[in-house]
Amino acid sequence: MKIGFIVNDIQTEQATYTTTRLSMEAINQGHEAWTMGVGDLAYDQDENIRARARTAPKKRYKSHELYLADLKGKKAVRERITLDELDVLMLRNVPSDDVGTRSWATGIAIEFGRIVMRQGVIVVNDPNGLAKAASKMYFQLFPEEVRPRTLITRDREEIRAFAREEGAIVLKPVMGSGGASVFLVRKEDFPNLNQMIDAVSRDGYVVAQEYLPAATEGDTRLFVMNGRPLQVKGRYCAFRRVRSGEDMRSNIHAGGKLREAVVTDEMLRIAEIVRPKLVQDGMFLVGLDIVGDKLMEINVFSPGGVGSAQKFTKINFSKYIIKALERKVNYMAYYGRNFDNVDMNTL
C-alpha cells in the first residue's frame, strides 16, 4: 500500500502526534508512507496533483522520536510524488491552526483532496465531509439529544442575555482548537463579559454554550473508526482528560492531565446516535469528546490522542487503523475501484 499524509508543516510535527504514529506504523507494516505539508502541494499542467514529499529511510523503527528525526532531517528521502498514484491519502492537517497566520492554507488540502479522489485514491476523511465541518457550526447538525444548548452569534447583547438565562456559559470561537480563546463565564464574571466576548469575537463568530457541571471532572475522548467505537481485544481506544487547577480546559496542551477512561453505556449510546451522520459524511477516524451525557466536540480534522489511549490499554491502536486502511485498498482492487469515496471511508 502506498499512503500519503498531509500535515500543516512537517517541521512542526511532534513524536507524540497521532500522525507520526500512523506513518511510522505504516512503514513498520511494510507499506510506503509519504508525508507532506499543505504548502508542498501542486496542481501540474498535466492535471496531476503532485507534492514535495518525504519518507523515512529505514524499513522499520522502534522509536517515534528516531523516526521523526529521520523524517525531518537530512536522512529523509525526498521526492516529488504524484498523489494520483497513491492508494490512500490521509488529510491530517488542522485548518484552524493556520487561521490568521496562513489563511491560504486553511482549506486547500480539502480542495486538492477532492481532485485526487477522481483517480480512485481513497481520501480519508472524505474531503466533502470535511468541508462541511470547517467550523464548529458542523456540531449543530447533530441531534439536540447529545448537544449542550448553544448560541452562535457576534451580537454582544444576545450573548449577555444567554449568559443571564443559563447562569454559567462557555465562550469559544467558531474557528479554533486546542482550548484556545475558551472562557468559562459565571455570574461573578458578568462584569468582565464584554472583554471576554471581544477577545473571542476577534477571530469571528462566538459560540456561547451551556456549561456542563460534569466538566469539572474532565472529559473523555472516544475514537470512532468506520462509524463505530474503535475497540480491540475488548478495550476501547479512549482516554480521559482532567483539568489542572482552576483552568476549566482539559486539553492536554492547555494543562490538562491524562487519566484512564472508563467507557460507559451512555458514551456508547452517544456514539450510536451520531454514527449515521458520521457515516453519511464519510468520516473514517473521529474523536468524540464527551462530558457526562453530552458531546462537547466532534473532532474530524486530525483527531489526536491514539498514543494516550495506548498508554493505558497497552494496545497499539495505530496498527489496527493502518490495517483498516489496507482492507479498504483491497476492497477497491477486488471490485475495480467501484466504490464512492464516502462509502469507502466507513466500509
pLDDT, one tens digit per residue, over 236-252 is 999 999 976 555 544 44
Could you tell me if 238 and 285 lie in one domain?
yes
Same domain, 264 and 327: no
Residue 140 lies in a domain: no
Q: Which of 164, 179, 211 is the last residue of a domain?
A: 211
Range of the domain at 57: 2-124+323-346
- CATH of residue 336: 3.40.50.20
CATH of the domain at 186: 3.30.1490.20
The percentage of the chain sitting over the pLDDT mark of 90, rounded to a whole number, equals 83
Residue 143 lies in a domain: no
304 shares a domain with 192: no
Whole-model pTM: value is 0.91
Q: Is residue 132 part of a domain?
A: no
Same domain, 187 and 274: no
CATH number of the domain that 224 lies in?
A: 3.30.470.20
The total of other beta-carbon atoms located within 10 Å of residue 232's CB is 14
The verdict on 68 and 10 lying in the same domain is: yes
- pLDDT at res. 33: 98
Pair (174, 265) in one structural domain: no
End position of a domain, from candidates 179, 211, 243:
211
As to burial, measured by CB atoms within 10 angstroms (0-12 exposed, 13-18 middle, 19+ buried), residue 48 is middle
Q: According to the model, what pLDDT value does residue 281 have? A: 98
**Do residues 182 and 265 both lie within one domain?**
no
For the chain, give the mean pLDDT.
Answer: 92
Q: What are phi and psi of 145, to 5 degrees?
A: -55, -30
Average pLDDT score over residue span 152-162: 95
Say if 222 falls within a structural domain.
yes
Residues 7 and 68 in one domain: yes
User: Is residue 310 one of the residues assigned to a domain?
Assistant: yes
For residue 239, the model assigns a pLDDT of 98
Instruction: Answer whether residue 135 is part of any domain.
Output: no
Residue that is last in its domain, among 191, 211, 231: 211
Give the number of domains in the chain: 3
pLDDT in tens, 264-288: 999 999 999 999 999 999 999 999 9
Same domain, yes or no, for 85 and 155?
no
pLDDT at 347 (0 to 100) = 93
Query: Is 203 in the same domain as 111?
Result: no
Categorize the per-residue pLDDT at 176 as very low, low, confident or very high, splitting at 50, 70 and 90.
low
Domain assignment present for residue 288? The answer is yes
* Cα 111 from Cα 104, distance rounded (Å): 12
Residue 141 located in a structural domain: no
85-to-1, 4, 28, 178, 280 alpha-carbon distances in Å: 11, 10, 21, 34, 26
DSSP string covering 276-321: HHHHHTT-SEEEEEEETTEEEEEE-SS---HHHHHHHH---HHHHH
Given a cut of 80, whether residue 255 has pLDDT beyond it is no
Q: Do 307 and 207 fall within a single domain?
A: no
Mean pLDDT of 190-215: 90
Q: Are residues 282 and 332 in the same domain?
A: no
For residue range 66-121, list pLDDT tens digits in order: 999 999 999 999 999 999 999 999 999 999 888 878 989 999 999 999 999 988 89
Please list the residues that pair with 90 across neighbouring strands.
5, 124
Q: What is the DSSP letter of 134?
A: S
Question: Among 135, 21, 22, which residue's Cα sits nearest to residue 89?
Answer: 22
